[in-house]
Amino acid sequence: MKKAAKIRLLSDAKILIPAAGAAFAKLDPRHQIKNPVMFVVEVGSLMTTALWVEAALGHGEMRSGFILAVSLWLWFTVIFANFAEAVAEGRGKAQAATLRQARKETPAKLLAQGRRGETPAAVPASRLRKGDVVLVEAGDVIPMDGTVIEGVASVNEAAITGESAPVIRESGGDRSAVTGGTTVLSDWIVVRVTANPGDTFLDHMIDMVEGAKRQKTPNEIALSILLAGMTIVFLLATATLLPFSLYSVSQVGRGSPVTVTVLIALLVCLIPTTIGGLLAAIGIAGMDRLIQANVIAMSGRAVEAAGDVDVLLLDKTGTITLGNRQAVSFLPAEGVSREVLADAAQLASLSDETPEGRSIVVLAKERYGLRHRNVHELGASFVPFTAQTRMSGVDLHDGRQIRKGAADAVEAYVKGQGGTFPVEVRAVVERISKEGGTPLAVADRGKVLGVVHLKDIVKGGIRERFAELRRMGIKTVMITGDNPMTAAAIAAEAGVDDFLAEATPEAKLRLIRDIQKEGRLVAMAGDGTNDAPALAQADVAVAMNQGTQAAKEAGNMVDLDSNPTKLIEIVEIGKQLLITRGALTTFSVANDVSKYFAIIPAAFATTYPALKALNIMHLATPESAILSAVIFNALIIVVLLPLALRGVKYRAVPASRLLRDHVLIYGLGGVVAPFVGIKLIDMMLVACHLA
Amino acid sequence: MNANNLLQGAIYIAVFLACVKPLGAYMAEIYEGRVPRPVRWLLPLERGLYRLCGVDPAEEMSWQNYAVAKLLFNAAGLFALYALQRLQHLLPLNPMKMAAVSPDSSFNTAVSFATNTNWQGYGGETTMSYLTQMLGLTVQNFVSAAGGMAVMAALIRGFVRRQSATVGNFWTDMIRGVVYILLPLSAVLAVILVSQGVVQTLKPYAAASVIEIAQDSRGKPMAGQTIALGPAASQISIKQLGTNGGGFFNANSAHPFENPTPLSNFLEMESLVLIAAALCFTFGKMVGDVRQGWALLAAMTLIFVPMLWLCVASEQKGNPAFDALGVDQRPTIEQPGGNMEGKETRLGIASSAIWATATTSVSNGSVNSMHDSFTPLGGLVPMALMQLSEVVYGGVGSGLYGMLLYAVVAVFLAGLMVGRTPEYLGKKIESFEMKMASIGILVSPACALLGTAVAVACAAGRAGVSNPGPHGFSEILYAFSSGANNNGSAFAGLNANTPFYNVTIGLAMFFGRYWIAVPVLAMAGSLARKKFVPESSGTLPTHTPLFIVFLVGIVVMVGALTFFPALALGPIAEHLLMIGKGA
């Protein structure tokens, strides 16, 4: 995937050459009819071709060379639109080919009784069904999506995620899901199959990147209806011009009626071919951008919904804060120096491999220059953390017994040793709790040495991201298992709008339902099985690829990088998709103004020479005017293709400013640009003696 | 543009805008089911009508039932009006012994009045009995207007209601609209008009002897003159207020018995736009955000003002060909100057041109001058205003719901450009809404263009044209634009009382009304069923100047792009010929 991502759509021959071929293949009317706007252009192309044949045989309504030129450029219009779609599909096609290699027939070791001990039977992966149990050993390719029910193994998931570092998959817990097509590197696992052939994650992924089962999304359908409506209006406006023109000629007794060729040219110029030709490409490119971000969407609907999200639910750990708490300061008890406390705390943590323990060692080293000492050299014995004592520590030769742990546990320990827990230390403990930190009391036998302040570290830059989201009109809610006091402190530090403390799966689900009842759309990321109900309820649900099968099935997107912060990127991609559609539609319609000024005087000048006054661009001849408009109309599709593929850049500014900028660029720009373009083309036609 | 014209235009606009808030708020009360204190005394009438019609006012209707009720009601009115015209020679209150109206003309008039178009192929004082005028035409003036307002009320409820299967009760909307809004206003206006000299009598026409014996068209001397009378004031007041426009007399409000004084002219002009403009405020009030209503009103006014200016300025400028002949077209103390052909000298340029612009921007269609005689650009203004689908104020109710269709399209495009699937007033705009909006916007241009195409292609259609060249084409285009958009005004040059025009324009009026009203009701039903999406800073605001300009852009673009080629062959070509660009 990562490698494929480097393909540049518009400069890679591997994409452009097949796309050029596909552009012609897509001329098949059965394909073209799906896009009513371009279908009308194709019918127009066929009609002008017929008119040219007629003219070539000497019965033409106009000069055959002119009809041929119009006809050719109408064909180009259709082909350019098809080419746009084909280019957008190109990268997906290339990626799908890579993914298919991972899906090739693999032998599976079926455990008929579902037990590890039995002799496995070799069957092809395609024969496996949901519920079958297979054994996968080192070097084997996992044959099908499933859940690990026994064992632990390191798995290379590069085929799916593009990430070559192996990951651990084990039974139970949140790391139990395995994906068909990935490879076990070491050890073995027993897997219960959770998908039937053709319905696996890899299959979905191939469908998605290839766009094979691409269905129009609701918003795309709504836009298509609008475009079809416009096409009908313009069809009427141009078709009725024929009787109007015949009547005018008969009344004035001068000139000749407008020709069918000119009417078709006018029709094609007026109907929204720019957006009609690029609409499919915009949709495919939007999905493609998501795939570039290593997110697999299970439906296009979810991508659109992402643009509408009002509320983001974000897990605290891993998303808002770094995974673990870290020691930030030593607060000694009365009569104890900081160095003594730091020294004791470091000693007690030397053998503590938890991130919290390591952070204490590091802090003591950084602040007080205390070196890392070897526990064995000190002849110390490590006292590990247990659920009963809720403390860990170290016993030293010199008789010191250092313990660190939750304040109430340490208090019980100190009192058991005949000591007391000083009031001012209790005050410190309470203050730290109130600030959202975790106090860790340190004691030596009966003497309390002080408190280590452990703190959640908010990720760098996250506050700015949340501010940006707020400007986009999106509310952020932090979800955490912490108590409300801790949660409030972190929420304030990270700049989220709201938080849900002591969150249970039920509370999460209820929160989502409450928000949705207000009519808002909710997005969330999750990985655990207990996230599954909430994921299923959320409108945009991003499951982490490293999560459980249940989570992946409940979500409508899977993030292959398992990075919950990516929700923000997904929202932006959704918005960008909608903006690109709106901008190009506006541009397309705005273009029509200039085309009238080019074609109307040219079409009716023989009847009413006075209408030449409308030729404000001073186009050379009626023929060059019509041809320039048609050529501009075809070329603009190609010119705007990079924009359609890249998407209009989204900026986190209020909606009113966004609208103002886009109306100016695509509305006003859309009115002005073709005046310049058509004039330039006309000048070139004149320069080449084609007009 | 001289100071007189500017002043008249400014006063005209200022007066009706000043009435928007009080009247709009009052109408919101009515459609929300309340009865304000000053009109409590009408309550027995409302209740009596419910009992008489067997209506349960508490019953709620789905959009389908609402639409069926409306269609059945209009069908019944249409048949009744047709029968009245066909049988009027057998019925009482026919002092002038009017004969039965021809089948095609009866059909045309019945459709015309039931659809709030009030296109008149006939001449009132030479065709209709008093009974037909009163029981047929005046009644339809009331109910067609109330029907349009009812559809609009249903659409507003679609925006207001949340997850509701119903959009209101057609019968109560109808009855309340007539009883509390149209009846009181038109009664007051009728009395004032009578005070100005508008006739209101059931007596037969008066015979007058003349001082100067004139000759009729066959050269026979005419010894006397018949002066047409009738119950005119009661019909004229609702014709103006209900955006109907069908005159009691053939000359409509150019007739001295319909519009005798400057004051009557001013009041008739103000009253034709009054309700249509005030409904914008009603809308804002009912959706709970008056800014939304002001925004729509502002969008309409932004189109109206330049058009008004163009019309008045073109008429004041007159015809350059006359300058070459040495005709003085400048305004002086003795003459209004400009193009006075087809205008009442007592009304002058400004009052005629303001009326022409107002009556076509509002789907009224009454006239106090002959639009056929306007300069090409002056005549283009009324035609273009109709071709904008009558949404610049528009018909009572129909103008606003037409504008809301455009607002839905504008919101759709603008919404996409800010990166959200579009929503308007908290309701998501999805493919069903787009389908209905597209149909609603498509229908009237389609009827206008296809009707014109058929007419210019048929001998029967070409036969009605009295002017050659682009002007003749304009006459036909104007007639179908007027019918399809339910305006009803005419470029007088076209002889439209023929079976061909009676039938084709009749069909254009019919489709132009119901193929918009039914999609609007369908949209109302669909919107009412939806959940409400609360506003956030990512929501597109729809009351800002930016959105107003965008909405104006959409309305103008759709209208201009649809009709520009046709207009180029009509008034634009004529104008360019007139100013001497290549003959």
Whole-number pLDDT of residue A157 = 83
Which pLDDT band, with edges at 50, 70 and 90, does A213 fall under? low
Contacts of B516 in chain A (CB under 8 A): none
B523 pLDDT band (50/70/90 cuts)?
Answer: very high
Q: Tell me whether residue B261 is in a domain.
A: yes
Mutate to test the interface with B, among A216, A251, A593, A661 (most CBs of B within 10 A): A251
Task: Say yes or no for a CB contact (<8 Å) between A240 and B572.
Answer: no
Q: Which residues of B touch A305 (CB under 8 A)?
A: 421
pLDDT tens column, A632-660: 999 999 999 999 999 998 888 888 889 99
Pairwise CA distance, residues B537 & A78, whole Å: 40
In a domain, B311, yes or no: yes
pLDDT value of residue A7? 47
B534–A579 CB contact, under 8 Å: no
Residues 6+ apart with CB under 8 A from B118: B112, B141, B239, B244, B245, B246, B365, B366, B488
Q: Are strands A391-395 and A401-405 parallel, antiparallel or unpaired?
A: antiparallel
Q: How many CB atoms lie within 10 A of CB A196?
A: 16
Residue A5 has pLDDT above 70, yes or no: no
Residue of B nearest to A221 (CA): B431
Q: How confident is the model at residue B583 (pLDDT cuts 50, 70, 90)?
A: very low
Q: What is the mean pLDDT of residues B491-503?
A: 89
Q: Tell me whether residue B218 is in a domain.
A: no
Residue type at A84 in one-letter notation:
A
CA B336 to chain CA centroid, Å, is 28
Within 10 A of A423 (CB to CB), how many other CB atoms are there?
9
pLDDT for A547 equals 76
pLDDT confidence of residue A623: 92
Average pLDDT (B435-445) is 94
pLDDT value at residue B373? 92
Search chain A and give the residue with CA nearest B432.
A222
B453 vs A232, A244, A581: nearest CB: A244
Q: What is the mean pLDDT of residues A525-538?
A: 83
Residues in B closer than 8 angstroms to A589, CB to CB, are: 557, 561
Res. A419: pLDDT tops 90:
no
- A218 contacts in B (CB within 8 Å)? 421, 430-431
Distance from CA of B532 to the nearest CA of A (A): 6
- Residue A121 CB neighbour total at 10 angstroms: 11
pLDDT more than 70, % of chain A: 96
Query: Which pLDDT score, from 0 to 100, does residue A6 have?
Result: 44
Chain A residue numbers with beta carbons less than 8 Å from the beta carbon of B431 are 218, 221-222, 225
CB contact under 8 A, B449 and A613: no
Q: Which pTM was predicted?
A: 0.87
The confidence band for B307, taking pLDDT boundaries of 50, 70 and 90, is: very high
Q: Which of B429, B563, B569 sits opposite A604 (nearest CB)?
A: B569
Residue A106 has a CB neighbour count (10 Å cut-off) of: 18
pLDDT tops 90 at residue A8:
no
Question: For B181-212, how does the pLDDT look when each residue is reduced to its tens digit (9 = 90+)?
Answer: 999 999 999 999 999 999 999 999 999 888 88
pLDDT in tens, A291-326: 888 888 877 788 888 888 889 888 887 778 876 778
- B291: contact with A, CB 8 A cutoff: no
Q: Quick count: other Cβ atoms within 10 Å of Cβ B195?
A: 12
Percentage of chain A beyond pLDDT 90 is 31
User: Closest by alpha carbon to B490, among B477, B502, B503?
Assistant: B477
The closest of B409, B392, B393 to B542, measured between CA atoms, is B409
Would the CB atoms of B537 and A308 count as touching at under 8 Å? Answer: no
d(CA A593, CA A590): 6
pLDDT band at A3 (very low <50, low <70, confident <90, very high): very low
Task: State phi, psi for A134 to the nearest 5 degrees.
Answer: -125, 155
Report whether pLDDT(A467) > 90: no
Higher-scoring residue by pLDDT: B316, A417 = B316
A21's CB contacts (< 8 A; 6+ apart) are: none
A586, A589, A600: residue with CB nearest B417: A586
- The residue length of chain B stands at 583
Q: Tell me which residue in B415, B431, B544 faces A221 most closely, judged by beta carbons.
A: B431
Q: Decide if pLDDT at A691 tops 70.
A: no
Q: Which domain holds residue B382?
A: 3-213+224-582
Give the DSSP per-residue string, B531-558.
Answer: PPPPP-TTSPPSSSHHHHHHHHHHHHHH
Residue B466 within a domain: yes
Q: Is B469 on the interface with A (CB under 8 A)?
A: yes
- Single-letter code of the amino acid located at B482: S
Q: Give the nearest partner residue to B537 out of A245, A304, A654, using CB atoms.
A: A654
Which residue in chain A has the smallest CA separation from B409? A226
Residues A666-687 pLDDT 10s: 999 999 999 999 999 999 999 9
Distance from the Cα of B430 to chain A's closest Cα (Å) equals: 6
Tell whether B162 is covered by a domain: yes
pLDDT for A1 equals 39
pLDDT of the residue at B32? 95
Looking at the predicted structure, is the pLDDT value of residue A10 above 70? no
Cβ atoms of A394 and A376 within 8 Å: the answer is: no
Whether B556 has its CB under 8 Å from any CB of chain A: the answer is: no
Q: Is A497 considered catalytic here?
A: no
- pLDDT digit string, tens, across residues A125-184: 888 888 899 999 888 888 888 888 888 888 888 777 777 778 888 887 767 888 888 889
**Residue A666 tokens, joined:** 């695509």
Catalytic residue among A288, A315, A444, A559: A315
Kindly identify which residue of chain B lies nearest to residue A648, measuring between CA atoms. Answer: B417
Percentage above 90 pLDDT, chain B? 83
CB contact under 8 A, A251 and B468: yes
- B515 backbone dihedrals φ, ψ, rounded to 5°: -75, -5
**Contact across the interface for B541 and A667, Cβ inside 8 Å:** no
Residue A306, strand partner residues = none
Q: Which residue has the tokens 């050890």?
A: A187
- Best mutation target among B159, B409, B416 (most A Cβ atoms within 10 Å) is B416
Residue-level pLDDT at B25? 97
Q: Which of B420, B429, B581 sits opposite A610 (nearest CB)?
A: B581
* Model pLDDT for residues B458-488, shown as the tens digit of each residue: 999 998 888 888 999 999 999 999 999 999 9
Q: Cα separation of A367 and A154, whole Å?
A: 38
Task: Examine residue B219 and state whether it is found in any structural domain, yes or no.
Answer: no
Q: Is residue B68 domain-resident? A: yes
Q: Which residues of B touch A472 (CB under 8 A)?
A: 537-538
Query: pLDDT tens digits, residue range A486-526?
Result: 888 888 888 899 999 888 888 889 999 998 888 788 998 87
For residue B408, the chain A residue with the least C-alpha distance is: A226
Task: Sort out which chain B residues have CB atoms less than 8 A from A647's CB and list them.
Answer: none
**Residues B361-385: what's their mean pLDDT?**
94
Point out the least confidently predicted range of A434-438, A452-456, B136-140, B318-322.
A434-438
List CB contacts (< 8 A) between A592 and chain B: 557, 561
User: How many domains are contained in chain B?
Assistant: 1
Q: Do B576 and A613 touch (CB under 8 A)?
A: yes
What tokens appear for A29 in the block? Answer: 């009317």
A179-208 mean pLDDT:
84
Instruction: Please state the rounded mean pLDDT for residues A539-560.
Output: 84
Res. B1: pLDDT tops 70: no
Nearest CA in chain A to B427: A519
Q: Say if B454 falls within a structural domain.
A: yes
What are the φ/ψ torsions at residue A13 (nearest 5 degrees)? -60, -30
Mean pLDDT of all residues in chain A?
86
- pLDDT at residue B581, rounded to an integer: 64
Of A243, A470, A575, the CB nearest to B456: A243
- In degrees and rounded to multiples of 5, residue A670 shows phi and psi of -65, -30
A241: which chain B residues are within 8 Å (Cβ-Cβ)?
565-566, 569
Task: Look at A237 and B452 and tell me if their CB atoms are within 8 Å.
Answer: no
* Interface touch B450/A232, C-beta < 8 Å: no
Comparing B308 with B2, which gets the higher pLDDT? B308
Q: What is the mean pLDDT of chain B?
A: 93
The more confident residue out of A179 and B302 is: B302
